[in-house]
Amino acid sequence: MSLQLFLPYAVGIALFLVWHILRRGKGEKAHKAEFKENLAAGLMEPPSLHPVVNPALCIGSGTCVKKCPEEALGMVGGKAVLINASACIGHGACHSACPFDAITLVFGTEKRGIDIPLLSHLFETNLHGIFIAGELGGMGLIRKAAEQGTQVVEAIIKRMVGEFPSPPDMVDLLIVGAGPAGMSASLSAKLHKLKFRIIEQEHSLGGAIFKYPRQKIAMTAPVKLAMVGLVKMHEISKEDLLEFWEGTRAKHDITIDYNHRMERIEPFDGGFFVHTNQGTPIKARAVLLAIGRQGTPRTLDVPGENTPKVAYRLIDPHQYEGQKVLVVGGGDSALEAAIALGSIKGITSVLSYRSAAFSRVKGKNRDTLAKMQAEGTVDVRLQTQVLQITEKTVVLKNEDGSTSEIDNDQVIVCAGGVLPTPLLKDVGIKFETKFGTV
């Protein structure tokens, strides 16, 4: 090729390279800023399984960054870095995407260990008759948790051979939790004609899915469920996914005991008494814990809290149009809820937090809140504590000991969750603490 003919191609390639480098540099700058901000706010502890990038193997292709649907990874210094650890939900999409095997998926970090129960190959804990499925056992993601729910019931039947059927006053199997693992386990229990019950602390099935933001697209893969067969799911909205589970539940006539929170397990010779917040304990030969890792929302323990006007997360801010809403808490979820509510015309958004300042939150949330407070779209009440919730008001205790009664229609408590591990350790279930290991 003569120089004259080659020149336009060379210029084109050079321009593309310059554009690519500039674009990448711009992306890197934003990732670096986000990383710095999350570091400063102390938000670097991933909730569960997460990637660790080996910088010696990472060539900075950025494939994992593009593949992460939660935007948890970014490019910093030419290498992939977990820049938004709290957004990582442990898909592992980044791990499969890396062409150089530079990513390992681990539990916990050097600073904060994560307790993973010790299970046999049949998913049984060290206590005969107590089994674990899904995210609690370290098997996160919708498809994997659902697959494991089915497998665990098959394993239980194998393990408990000769112990079923149980006497009339006892169920063969009590399934705790109606997320993907618990739901698929209940289908399997139905298929195998076990005498079973399924309890759920919430008023709805779906587990973590029920708590996804409105219209969130879940990334999943086809899964085989007992009684149903192969379900071909790929990208599906939260709403469609919940509709699928509810339709399946209804079609196969599975009754879930909602608002039943497991509070204690008491072993006896030949089974367990499972104590719930609903009084009479449930007597079960075997117990399957499919309770995930999200825990139970932390409550305020004040008069009036146990009423329908109190919720523990904001799912759809539009449902509160025209109402006066009090958000309680000082973390990112509380700030984001107050901001989302205050952004909708007609909603009165009040935020109550017991401390004098918001410390461990993203700078972006802190700044937006301060701006909205200045504009009067969110009423921020620092150093206040909820004393009482009534039908039309909330009583707040101020720092100087005085009280204020504010008009109120709804309360959203965002005070974090109580993890299930202490409860399970109390029964004697053994755990292993992982500090950034597989």
Ligand X SMILES: Cc1cc2nc3c(=O)[nH]c(=O)nc-3n(C[C@H](O)[C@H](O)[C@H](O)COP(=O)(O)OP(=O)(O)OC[C@H]3O[C@@H](n4cnc5c(N)ncnc54)[C@H](O)[C@@H]3O)c2cc1C
200 lies in the binding site for ligand X (CB under 6 A): yes
Q: Which stretch binds ligand X (CB under 6 A): 31-39, 78-86, 204-212, 242-250?
A: 204-212
Size of residue set near ligand SF4 by CB under 6 A: 14
Residue 196 · residue 175 · CB < 8 Å: yes
Binds ligand X (CB under 6 A): choice among 196, 212, 245, 353:
212
140 lies in the binding site for ligand SF4 (CB under 6 A): no
18-27's contacts with Cβ under 8 Å and 24+ in sequence apart are 24/62, 24/75, 27/74, 27/75
62 lies in the binding site for ligand SF4 (CB under 6 A): no
Residue 355 · residue 399 · CB < 8 Å: no
Mapped onto helix, strand or coil, the DSSP state of residue 369 is helix
The entry of ligand X, ligand SF4, none that residue 262 binds, CB within 5 to 8 Å by partner kind: ligand X
DSSP 170: S
The entry of ligand X, ligand SF4, none that residue 53 binds, CB within 5 to 8 Å by partner kind: none
Residue 381 CB: number of other CB atoms within 10 A?
17
Smallest separation (angstroms) from ligand X to the CB of 126: 20
Smallest separation (angstroms) from ligand X to the CB of 93: 9
Smallest separation (angstroms) from ligand X to the CB of 184: 8
Binds ligand X (CB under 6 A): choice among 46, 51, 138, 177:
177
68 lies in the binding site for ligand SF4 (CB under 6 A): yes
Smallest separation (angstroms) from ligand SF4 to the CB of 215: 19
Mapped onto helix, strand or coil, the DSSP state of residue 334 is helix
DSSP 216: P
86 lies in the binding site for ligand X (CB under 6 A): no
**Phi, then psi, of 260 in degrees rounded to 5:** -105, 105
* CA dist., res. 393 & res. 413, Å (int): 15
For ligand X, the closer of residues 201 and 352 by Cβ is 201
Binds ligand SF4 (CB under 6 A): choice among 60, 92, 113, 436:
92
Binds ligand SF4 (CB under 6 A): choice among 94, 106, 265, 274:
94
89 lies in the binding site for ligand SF4 (CB under 6 A): yes
DSSP 208: G
The entry of ligand X, ligand SF4, none that residue 51 binds, CB within 5 to 8 Å by partner kind: ligand SF4
DSSP 346: T
Binds ligand X (CB under 6 A): choice among 420, 421, 424, 429:
420
Binds ligand SF4 (CB under 6 A): choice among 33, 44, 52, 93:
93
Binds ligand X (CB under 6 A): choice among 294, 323, 383, 388:
294
**Largest Cα–Cα separation, the chain:** 92
Binds ligand X (CB under 6 A): choice among 49, 72, 160, 199:
199
Closest CA to 288 of 76, 141, 127: 127
139 lies in the binding site for ligand SF4 (CB under 6 A): no
Closest CA to 194 of 224, 147, 225, 160: 160
Residue 425 · residue 340 · CB < 8 Å: no
Q: Which stretch binds ligand X (CB under 6 A): 195-203, 249-257, 267-275, 312-320?
A: 195-203
For ligand X, the closer of residues 58 and 256 by Cβ is 256
User: 125-155 burial, b for 16+ CB within 10 Å, e for fewer?
Assistant: bebebbbbbbbbbbbbbbbbbbbbbbbbbbb
| Rama region for 96: left / alpha / beta (φ>0; ψ in -120 to 50; rest) | alpha
For ligand X, the closer of residues 116 and 181 by Cβ is 181
Q: Is the peptide bond before 267 cis (omega within 30 degrees of 0)?
A: no
Question: β-strands 279-289, 171-176: how paired?
Answer: parallel
Strand partners, 352: 328, 381
46 lies in the binding site for ligand X (CB under 6 A): no
Smallest separation (angstroms) from ligand X to the CB of 14: 40
Binds ligand SF4 (CB under 6 A): choice among 41, 53, 81, 88:
88
Q: Give the binding site for ligand SF4 (CB under 6 A).
A: 50-51, 67-68, 70, 72-73, 88-94
